[in-house]
Structure 1
Amino acid sequence: MVSEPSSNLLDPAAGPVALTRQLCDIESVSGNERRIADAVAEVLARDAPHLTVHRDGDTLIARTELGRAHRVAIAGHLDTVPVNENLPVTDEHDPDTGEAIIRGRGTVDMKAGVAVQLALAIELDAPAVDVTWIWYDHEEVSAELNGLGRALRNRPDLFAADFAILGEPTRAEIEGGCNGTMRARVSYLGTRAHSARSWTGVNAIHRAGNLLERLSAFEAERVTVDGLEYREGLNAVQISGGVAGNVIPDRVDIEVNYRFAPSRSTEEAVSLVREFCADADEFEVTDLAPGARPGLDAELARGFLAAVGGVPEAKVGWTDVARFSAQGVPAVNFGPGDPLLAHADDERVPVPQIEEAHRALRAWLLGEGANPVT
């Protein structure tokens, strides 16, 4: 069955599964979030008189003001990577498990998580904690465009919290913290010459060979931080060089990406990669973001873990939990969907995971069970 394209009018009362379909069918590739942000804003204005709503571009911040002892920030991004013939979404069944799935762009990363959050934001007018709900733009592109980062800079007061949850896909389990990430442009220089007389020049591409061999042989470390194991990685991700088919190249640029455990500082990460590339002629850091420690030792985090159950794992990719961590707010990742399917053309989310994420988060926010949020 193929879903009908959604209008700007969302229906959270239909539940998080139907809302996932509606949100996904509003195409919102990074840079084109206005329509989905308008749709969410319309729903909040219509159905959430208990929330105070602030808007920063295509980022929405909706807050309860109940005077509770604790405040939790719960966030999700509205944008997706480009569509590739995978919208509108389709309802299917997994051929291996038989469970219902929703297939299409954004189902995993991360509109199923956004649907869970939006449904609960409308439904819960008196949670056991004050909640700051955040839906933001431009997560899938350059860090300087990130809507969460922009809103944090513009109104840091709106983001004060004791604990944060980011709805990144985790199979409805908890993944603590995240690795840090850095990219560097590493350049080797040579001397141009006619390739028929190559001995009169210096081949920059050949000079880079030793670095490529070292990167190929690099063994990623496994680093345990606060009980969770983070796996690092150091890789060449882009390479450019060469002048023409008959010219010895005088320059080659290699982009190196280092994913580092949250126990390392950004300064340590840069120093490690710089030393690794010490034989290069030029070294320029082009992107750098710290990781975030697991955050599971916070009181609210322990209660949330008890409510969700299972064994927490480390988030090996970088996520915006790092932005909360930088503000002194412990944060975890929690949302439906397999992170290995994020950005895949075959992106799909199991319906039971959407329902389980909704159930667990709802129960915890209402203070139900043996480990109340209060």
Structure 2
Amino acid sequence: MRRAGGRGSRPGHGSDRRYRRPVTRLDLLADPVDLCAALVDTPSVSGDEAGLADAVQAALGEQAPHLEVLRSGDAVLARTRLGREHRVLLAGHLDTVPIADNLPSRREGHLLHGCGTSDMKAGVATIAHLAAAVAQPRHDVTFVFYDCEEVEAERNGLGRIERDHRDWLVADLAILGEPTNAGVEAGCQGTLRAEITTRGHRAHSARSWLGDNAIHAATPVLQRLAAYTARDVDIDGCVYREGLQAVRIAGGVAGNVVPDECVVTVNFRFAPDRDAAAAERHVREVFDGFDLALTDLSPGALPGLTAPAAAEFVAATGAAPSAKYGWTDVSRFAALGIPALNYGPGDPNLAHTREEHVDTRQITEAVDVLRRFLS
């Protein structure tokens, strides 16, 4: 196995103290369902993925000698260098949301329960198994296991990898192992959050006529939201449904005070035919006349289904693709000019819940589909 630079020494060696912790042993060539359970039983809440990253790095070093491996922070990257005409990138995040009394994993028939089963250790297990099992793929393949996807965007490991190791993200197609019930979800919506502030004048509530209630002044904001008609946009046969919603209202000083400020937070989920600037213009038009401050904005990703590699993968699944509702890291790949799809085992509606689980038959199906595509 050839190693690239960075922190590439084996866990347990070198001066970095993180490598001195005991490393969970992962059997990448075992049944992917068993591998998923092992991944779930190695806690990796955002910001604390080092132990799992150590285990993945060690397993690739022992069981995938055909791969070049790179460590970047708490992300692990691996790739073939076979000189194929095309390259496919498979990516999955190692981190989970905080544990909610749902570890260790447990099995119940075809269901595997536990924190991160659906989002997205089932996808990581699928990708990691194929990294070791498919030594001679017909496309060159890059595998990216990254950190801090579930927290603020500036901590996302893909951003660090793009800054420090841009050449590792070159590909003709990126497949993100987000939970999609083992179906293809193309592109993703963009997301925008903004705060709309209304102001008034404080007064004692017993003499309310002396004040001006800022919460009442927010009524037109809510009326515009209630009257808003969202678009349905068909792109490459995938229908993206937009939505503009109030997600928080903050106002009030005390039980006997007329409030002088109210803040309505709105979230706009927009189709990927709008870029970030167009989405911001639209929201400002909807709330024209109000004090609006943008707090978060991430563009979506077009489906990219007309790209040859994407069309080839969709054909390999035998299923019709659908639009991705929500934002995922396919947006990052799309911004790099790489067609990107979401495909992985697990129900996205179970992500982040106490009841999170995955149907293990979807893990088997996803492995079979990707193996067929790569082989």
TM-score tier, shorter chain, comes to over 0.9
The residue number in structure 1 matching 2:369 is 360
The residue number in structure 2 matching 1:33 is 49
Corresponding position: 1:120 with 2:136: no
Of 273, 280, 283, the residue aligned with 2:292 is 283
Cα separation, 2, equivalents of 1:220 and 1:60:
40
Would you say how many aligned residue pairs link Structure 1 and Structure 2? 354
The residue number in structure 2 matching 1:226 is 236
Kindly state the Cα deviation for residue 327 of structure 1 after the two structures are TM-superposed: 0.3
Of 314, 328, 334, the residue aligned with 1:319 is 328
Kindly state the Cα deviation for residue 214 of structure 1 after the two structures are TM-superposed: 2.4
The residue number in structure 2 matching 1:371 is none
Corresponding position: 1:141 with 2:151: yes
Give the unaligned 5+ runs of structure 1: 1-5, 94-99, 367-374
Cα separation, 2, equivalents of 1:8 and 1:189:
56
CA deviation vs aligned residue, 1:34-89 (integer Å, no higher than 9, x gap): 11111111111221221111121111111111111001111000111111111111
Of 216, 219, 237, the residue aligned with 2:226 is 216
RMSD value over aligned CA atoms?
Answer: 1.3
Corresponding position: 1:10 with 2:26: yes
Cα separation, 2, equivalents of 1:277 and 1:25:
47
TM-score (norm 2): 0.92
Contact 1:86 1:105 in 2 (8 A): yes
Contact 1:7 1:26 in 2 (8 A): no
Corresponding position: 1:304 with 2:313: yes
Identity of aligned residues (%): 54
Kindly state the Cα deviation for residue 191 of structure 1 after the two structures are TM-superposed: 1.1
Residue 253 of structure 2: SS of its match in structure 1?
A: coil
Corresponding position: 1:179 with 2:189: yes
Of 233, 236, 254, the residue aligned with 2:246 is 236
Corresponding position: 1:190 with 2:200: yes
**CA 1:219 to 1:88, structure 2 compared with 1: closer, same or farther past 3 Å?**
farther
Corresponding position: 1:293 with 2:309: no
Contact 2:86 2:140 in 1 (8 A): yes
Cα separation, 2, equivalents of 1:30 and 1:329:
26
The residue number in structure 1 matching 2:19 is none
Cα separation, 2, equivalents of 1:48 and 1:216:
55
Residue 246 of structure 2: SS of its match in structure 1?
A: strand
Residue 84 of structure 1: SS of its match in structure 2?
A: coil
Kindly state the Cα deviation for residue 314 of structure 1 after the two structures are TM-superposed: 0.5
Of the structure 1 ranges 149-158 and 309-318, higher mean CA displacement relative to structure 2 is found in 149-158
The residue number in structure 1 matching 2:107 is 91
TM-score (norm 1): 0.92
Corresponding position: 1:247 with 2:263: no
Give the unaligned 5+ runs of structure 2: 1-21
Cα separation, 2, equivalents of 1:48 and 1:275:
54
Of 352, 355, 362, the residue aligned with 1:346 is 355
The residue number in structure 1 matching 2:7 is none
Kindly state the Cα deviation for residue 7 of structure 1 after the two structures are TM-superposed: 6.2
The residue number in structure 2 matching 1:46 is 62
The residue number in structure 1 matching 2:340 is 331
Kindly state the Cα deviation for residue 218 of structure 1 after the two structures are TM-superposed: 2.8
Contact 1:16 1:354 in 2 (8 A): yes
